Structure 1
Amino acid sequence: MDLLTDRQRRFMIKAVQRGYYDSPRECSLTDLAVTLTVSKSTASRVLHNAEETVIKEFFAEPIE
């Protein structure tokens, strides 16, 4: 079973490629939404859901 949906994976790959996760950011959420041809709120929701899944999976092991 895949961790992310195809859409979530596509959005996260594009976000990484465009520098959305860089510090400082090379790409704003608005710029990313334009690139993905979706609204800013849709981009935010899809990324947030994908990030939630990735973080929860990462920390699924007990933390000591």
Structure 2
Amino acid sequence: VICGITEDTSQYHIIRATLEAVCFQTRDILEAMVKDSGTRLTDLLVDGGMTVNDLLMQLQADLTGINV
């Protein structure tokens, strides 16, 4: 569900919100892993098609505080 859409909402806004959602979900998973393992993460190694998106990788690094 996407809330707050107006006539000024563009395709860019929807795409950006989707990328941010992916990053927040990944951060939640990483935080649970750190809590369960007691190990601090210093780097996040990524692969797959989404890794070519520089914005996504930067958002992930910013949200987690981890080198991506």
Q: Tell me the TM-score range normalised by the shorter chain.
A: 0.3 to 0.5
- The structure with more radius of gyration: 2
TM-score with structure 1 setting the length = 0.37
TM-score with structure 2 setting the length = 0.35
